[in-house]
Structure 1
Amino acid sequence: MTRKAYSFVRTFPAEPARDLRVDRHYLLCASAGALRLEAEGEAWLLPPARAALIEAGRPIRVSIPQPVTTASVLFDVGFAPVPPAPLSVFDLDTLARELVRECGAWGVSDDPLPAYAETLFAALAAVAWRLAEQPSPVVVPAGRSPELRRALRLTEERLGADVRFEEVAAEVGLVPRSLARRFEDETGMTWRAVLRRMRVLRAIEHLAAGDTPVTSIAFLVGYTSLSAFNAAFRELTGRTPTQYRASFRP
């Protein structure tokens, strides 16, 4: 393949997690729906307003919780510089989203890029590399030990219910104090802080999926108070749920 960069636009059904490693620098993002990304003991959600910049050769795990249309870009290592970090997840600004859309006209091919397209890809790389220097804080730890990974999975499965820490600890075979210590040691966060982040990420997934009212989303992710939901959402993202949903739209 001779192209210095190309776009990968494709629609996928919901799929379980799979491992992925590419030999080019990879700007991974969705134009509709959302992707889940896990790497280096952390997990992110990628709705249309966010992207991941992944260094060539870096292994990642990707899952698709709902049908998604990707609009990603791959850069030859000789065309774009090494990213600022091996993996960075960040919010796309308007310019970056427009450049991703414009680059979508040039997919996988053995034909070289025309000068105009090469300029577009170079501009996108410059903008994305700059944005990658300010990664998003909305990330959830994935855990290292089997017990903590199971505790995280159980917590995520019960976000919309009255999830209780003591019940999660009992199901993974640890006393609450031991599980709390695992959270501190392996994630640097309390279980309550992880739960709050999981709820915000699930809310982002619902916001990206359609037009479900914000009040309904708050209850779906386990909040009984809209004001508490808005406060937690703004604390992690810097925006209200309504403002965040608006950022997904063209």
Structure 2
Amino acid sequence: MTELPAYSVAQCFGPAPKQQFKFDRHYLLYSVSGGLRLEAEGTIWSQPPARAALITADKPIEISLPVKIECRSVLFAKAFVPAPPNVLSVFEMTPLARELVLECAQWSETEDTLSSYAQGLFGTLASVIWKLSETPSRLSMPAPRSAAVKRVLDLTEQSLTNPPTFEELAALVAMSPRTLARKLSDELGMTWRQCLQKLRVISAVEALSQTDLPVTEIAFAQGYQSLSAFNAAFRELTGKTPSSYRASFNTSQ
């Protein structure tokens, strides 16, 4: 059987711990509901609903599924499209991109061949997605390289409401605060305060997508003392208010 240039598939996964995957086709993963985390080339991405990830064929990535997800995937043959600009990119979907994904859903891997119309549609989708992937989401964190920095980030993320002090964290990894600050800067390009702020917003995005909790309750659960401070930090990273960001998860829009 001749290899299909592209095809679409509806999938449900998870919950599941972190696992490594490698695909033999360029892989568009569009989240319909639920959220996931992906990691490749030193970057950890959070992918909430109504967003997409573009994964380059033959490149290993790691995926963790804290909740069940529903997704619509499109797989492109390597000979049909150019390689994506990055091994992995998570990005916002436009209405046009969503409509193209839905239109392509009528062609699955069970097809014998694709008509010229179908190939043209998949090709148009690829052009749109490849361009969108050049502007990745800011919901990402550099992956730590050392065990000490990884432990600091893990401990911070586990206690966002009331995190340890920086001095306490330094003592827990047997470093002086100055040494730990230098390692964070070298490995992550951020101070610990900047890491804490970003982890709080990423956690808030995941809570917005995975629960029906009020925004105020989510803000306090991330350690913010006021809703205005939470809204300001959230808007700085995402460009939207928490309420409008939650509304953007609606894939029927």
Q: Same fold (TM over 0.5)?
A: yes
Q: TM-score, normalised by structure 2?
A: 0.92
Q: Letter of the aligned partner of 2:74 in structure 1?
A: V
Over residues 137-194 of structure 1, what are the superposed CA-to-partner deviations in whole Å (9 max), with x where a residue is unaligned?
Answer: 2311111011111111111111233442222222222222211111001111111111
Q: Flag the 1:111–1:191 CA change in 2: closer, same or farther, 3 A.
A: same
Aligned to 2:61: 60
Aligned partners of 2:30 and 2:71 also within 8 Å: yes
User: What SS class does the counterpart of residue 248 from structure 2 fall into?
Assistant: helix
Separation in structure 2 between the aligned mates of residue 153 and residue 104 of structure 1, nearest angstrom: 39
Superposition map of 1:120-131 within 5 A = 120-131=121-132
Distance in 2 (alpha carbons) for counterparts of 1:179 and 1:8: 46
Opposite residue 48 of structure 2, the aligned amino acid is P
In the alignment, the residues of structure 2 paired with residue 161 and residue 97 of structure 1 have an alpha-carbon distance, to the nearest angstrom, of 39
Partner of 2:157: 156
Tell me the secondary structure at the aligned position of residue 229 of structure 2.
helix
The count of residues paired between Structure 1 and Structure 2 equals: 250
| Deviation at residue 237 of structure 1 after TM alignment | 0.9
- After TM superposition, the structure 1 = structure 2 runs for residues 72-221 of structure 1, keeping only pairs within 5 Å, are 72-109=73-110, 111-221=112-222
1-side partners of 2:217 and 2:7: how far apart? 39
Distance apart, 1:110 and its partner CA:
5.4
Partner amino acid, structure 1, of 2:95 = T
Are 2:70 and 1:33 equivalent residues in the alignment? no
Q: Residue 71 of structure 2 aligns with which residue?
A: 70
| Equivalent residue, structure 1, for 2:248 | 247
- What's the secondary structure of 1:173's corresponding residue? coil
The DSSP-based 3-state class of the residue aligned with 2:18 is strand
Which range is displaced more, 166-175 or 30-39?
166-175
For 1:191 and 1:122, the matched residues in 2 are separated by 43
> For the residues of structure 1 that align with 2:235 and 2:139, how far apart are their CA atoms?
11
Distance 1:116 1:177 in 2: 61
1:29 positional shift: 2.8
Distance between the aligned counterparts of 2:148 and 2:163, measured in 1?
21
Contact 2:84 2:130 in 1 (8 A): yes
**Which amino acid is the alignment partner of residue 86 of structure 2?**
A
Quick one: which amino acid aligns to residue 38 of structure 1? E
User: 1:128: Cα distance to partner?
Assistant: 0.5
1:233 — aligned with what? 234
2-structure distance, mates of 1:66, 1:181: 35
SS in 2 for 1:89: strand
Q: What residue number does 1:224 align with? A: 225
In 2, Cα distance between the equivalents of 1:115 and 1:161?
Answer: 58
Query: What secondary structure does 1:82 align onto?
Result: coil
The letter of the residue matching 1:11 is C
Instruction: Determine the C-alpha separation between the residues in 2 that align with 1:92 and 1:85.
Output: 17
Residue type of the partner of 1:167? E
Structure 2 CA distance, aligned partners of 1:98 and 1:173?
Answer: 53
Indicate if the aligned counterparts of 2:29 and 2:73 stay in contact, CA closer than 8 A.
Answer: yes
Among the aligned pairs, what percent are the same residue? 53
2:14 corresponding residue in structure 1? 13
Counterpart Cα distance in 1 of 2:46 and 2:161: 18
Structure 2, gaps ≥5 residues long? none
CA distance in 2, matches of 1:149, 1:8: 35
> Does the 8 Å CA contact 1:29/1:46 hold for their aligned counterparts?
no
User: Mind listing any 5+ residue stretches in structure 1 that lack a counterpart?
Assistant: none
Is 2:33–2:50's contact at 8 Å kept on the other side of the alignment? no
